[in-house]
Structure 1
Amino acid sequence: MATWMVQVSLIITLSLVLGRLAEKVGQSRMIGEISAGLLLGASVFGVLWPNGYAALFFNDSLEDLKVLADLGLVLLMFEVVWHTSFMHTGKIRNARLIPLVITLFGVSLTFLIGCLIATMSKETLAPDIALWPYVFFCGLALSVTALPVLIRIINHLGCMSTSTASIALSSAIYTDVLAWVGLAFLVAFNSVEKTSVVGGLVSILSLIGFCGISFYMIRPLRKL
């Protein structure tokens, strides 16, 4: 049997077992599935039984497992689109603005908390990294929504087709978009220090141009 089949079988089995246990104690099944991933990772399985972990999850085998994981994530993202339609929020006033307001308030608070934690931990965790890139990155990291986790929790609750689920998923998508754009700006600014200033400015302007074309030229084509 191929190694990836053993890995997938073990992951699915442990996820089902811990998912059922999570439900027994009143938690979402997703909590148990996340726990399964933590237990099978290097931080638990790799520490308790290093030889067994190295034999089952050796580096070459993880490439095949990563491909399967990426494929599953892509399929999940396509499924999200089916449930983020505003047809579920048609009776709610200002339905299109609600996810944006939730996103702005949610991102602002978590971003500030992340920046505060980064400021306090800079000397201990990242003494060799520049202050502002580290602070900005930590703020973004704490602002990002685990969209696949949110989808699984909503689906488990059986309210995927409700207006509340549409608003929650739309807010999570906006949050991820802001985070990825922020990360792109961070990479562009960081490249200024490692290359020429002109190269960094070109990267930043290219990113701004790409966002502008996507929102003001490509997006309206959907309505044609």
Structure 2
Amino acid sequence: MSGPALPWATPVQPMAADSLLVFLLQVGVLLLTAILLGRLAARLGLPAIVGELTAGVLLGPSLFGWLAPSAAHWLLPSDPAQMHLLDAVGQVAVLLLVGLTGIEMDLAMIRRRGATAVRVSLAGLLVPLALGIGLGHPLARLLDIGSADRQMFAIFLGVAMCVSAIPVIAKTLMDMDLVHRDVGQLTLAAGMVDDAFGWLMLSVISAMTLGGLTAGDLLHAVGSLLLVMCLAALLRGPVVRRALRLCRGSDERTVAVAAAMMLLAAAGTQALGLEAVLGAYLCGMLIGSSGEFDQVRTASLRMVVLAVLAPVFFATAGLRIDLRALREPAVLLAASAVLAVAIVGKFAGAYLGARLSRLSRWEALALGAGMNARGVIEVIVAMVGLRLGILDTRTYTIIVLVAVVTSVMAPPLLRMAMQRVDATEEETLRLVASGRMAARGSPERA
């Protein structure tokens, strides 16, 4: 008598031809539209990410879904399985983008100026958190949210105001060639602290919503974070450096192994209940500090991530925005209030932290502009709130609108501030080492 079939012995049905066709068209249309609008944004003096986000908005329910609903439903069906294929491409893109950001981090500068990053981050956390919670209660009454849910909504709104989007900040800084400037490095360092706090608070809110928070849950989250940091410090030499040394002689293998390590590190932090982005970012920093990943290999990874994967990711994020909800006066008023609080809170907090660290006024404004970008991280936070039942369609749209508007605002404000910040000798040396010098030998202006 034969036993039950082993799961790995059971043949897996291939993807249906129709599903494959729709998936290929989705990726192709999103990528082409994102490239075209990204190029248009560049011609207008904006980073490509502005056009890439706009591509998703135009192809989503705000325009294409409204003008041609039948065609939009065929190209972008509501079937979760079909959309999950597109989301999977986006997740790989964002993890490699964040990992690439970690590779280009100057850890020596962060160690020297870590206190500044912490001050900027804490101020950039506490001010918008307090303002968001304070706004949450009157906003809940305006939108007629049940009294039992108002406290949770207010806390959630405060957390949503805190986060900064490392993927958006990273792409913006890379597009503007500012990732090697001190302000760029400080923005990324402070943004990582903000996001780590945001993910921790989101875990707390999720536990409270799903049945209460125990001391064990909190200890597990903190313990997992400490474990990841210890493993990162221990594995740099015996694992990361040795793996890259085994690939010497082949740039292709080195880049492939680096990408694999970043994805595996992301899987590790995800398995521990932390965010996958954290693992990819830490692994990228280990790769960059290993001494085995030179500028040529970094450029090869940048080519794949920034030219193909990132545009698809940002365009996919824009698909989830439905601006038609703003036709309701109450929703429009609430959106205006949340947007104002989000911008003022983040700018004020980052500016205060920077000035307390004795940075110049323009450096402080540049930090505020960079950290103000909420981007896709805010979209993910909004999706979690929707899944938990804290947000409805209207409040979800409001928070996503904040993500888009602040991401579009960041590049021109950052450009304006950085034009008034002279490059230091250390930044010049960093730019020379990375190969990003203008023909006359001075750092390229963003």
CA contact (8 A) 1:115 1:139 kept: yes
Work out which of the residue numbers 125, 133, 140 in structure 1 matches 2:143: 125
Work out which of the residue numbers 60, 81, 84 in structure 1 matches 2:102: 81
Within 5 Å, which residues of 2 pair with 1:177-216? 177-193=196-212, 200-214=214-228
Q: Tell me, yes or no, if structure 1 residue 47 matches structure 2 residue 61.
A: no
Work out which of the residue numbers 134, 142, 149 in structure 2 matches 1:116: 134
Residue 196 of structure 1 is matched in structure 2 by: none
Q: Secondary structure at the match of 1:87?
A: helix
* Alpha-carbon spacing, 1:105–1:188, altered in 2? closer, same or farther (3 Å): same
Within 5 Å, which residues of 2 pair with 1:35-184? 35-58=54-77, 59=79, 60-88=81-109, 94-125=112-143, 127-128=145-146, 129-184=148-203
Name which of structure 1's ranges 62-71 and 35-44 shifts more when overlaid on structure 2: 35-44
Q: Secondary structure at the match of 1:15?
A: helix
Residue 423 of structure 2 is matched in structure 1 by: none
CA distance in 2, matches of 1:223, 1:53: 47
TM-score (structure 2 length as normaliser)? 0.44
CA distance in 2, matches of 1:25, 1:209: 47
Amino acid aligned to 1:164: V
Number of residue pairs the alignment of both structures matches:
215
TM-score (structure 1 length as normaliser)? 0.84
How far did 1:7 drift? 1.0
* Alpha-carbon spacing, 1:25–1:219, altered in 2? closer, same or farther (3 Å): closer
CA contact (8 A) 1:23 1:29 kept: yes
* Alpha-carbon spacing, 1:52–1:191, altered in 2? closer, same or farther (3 Å): same
CA contact (8 A) 1:86 1:96 kept: no
Structural RMSD (CA): 2.4
* Alpha-carbon spacing, 1:6–1:106, altered in 2? closer, same or farther (3 Å): same
CA contact (8 A) 1:76 1:148 kept: yes
How far did 1:223 drift? 7.4
CA distance in 1, matches of 2:220, 2:110: 35
CA contact (8 A) 2:129 2:159 kept: yes
CA contact (8 A) 1:19 1:30 kept: yes
CA distance in 1, matches of 2:168, 2:71: 28
CA contact (8 A) 2:204 2:218 kept: yes
Amino acid aligned to 2:218: I
* Alpha-carbon spacing, 1:24–1:212, altered in 2? closer, same or farther (3 Å): closer
Q: Deviations over 1:9-58 (max 9, x none)?
A: 11112112222222233222211111111111223322222111100011
Q: Tell me, yes or no, if structure 1 residue 221 matches structure 2 residue 234.
A: yes
Q: Tell me, yes or no, if structure 1 residue 9 matches structure 2 residue 28.
A: yes
Name which of structure 1's ranges 113-122 and 102-111 shifts more when overlaid on structure 2: 113-122
CA distance in 2, matches of 1:155, 1:125: 39
* Alpha-carbon spacing, 1:54–1:21, altered in 2? closer, same or farther (3 Å): same
Q: Deviations over 1:107-138 (max 9, x none)?
A: 12222232233122112436235222111111
Identical-pair percentage: 20
* Alpha-carbon spacing, 1:69–1:212, altered in 2? closer, same or farther (3 Å): closer
CA contact (8 A) 1:192 1:200 kept: no
How far did 1:144 drift? 1.1
How far did 1:69 drift? 0.8
* Alpha-carbon spacing, 1:213–1:69, altered in 2? closer, same or farther (3 Å): closer
Q: Tell me, yes or no, if structure 1 residue 23 matches structure 2 residue 42.
A: yes
* Alpha-carbon spacing, 1:160–1:209, altered in 2? closer, same or farther (3 Å): closer
Q: List runs of 5+ in structure 2 lacking aligned partners.
A: 1-19, 238-446
Q: List runs of 5+ in structure 1 lacking aligned partners.
A: 194-198
Higher relative contact order (CA 8 A, sep 6+): 2
* Alpha-carbon spacing, 1:120–1:210, altered in 2? closer, same or farther (3 Å): same
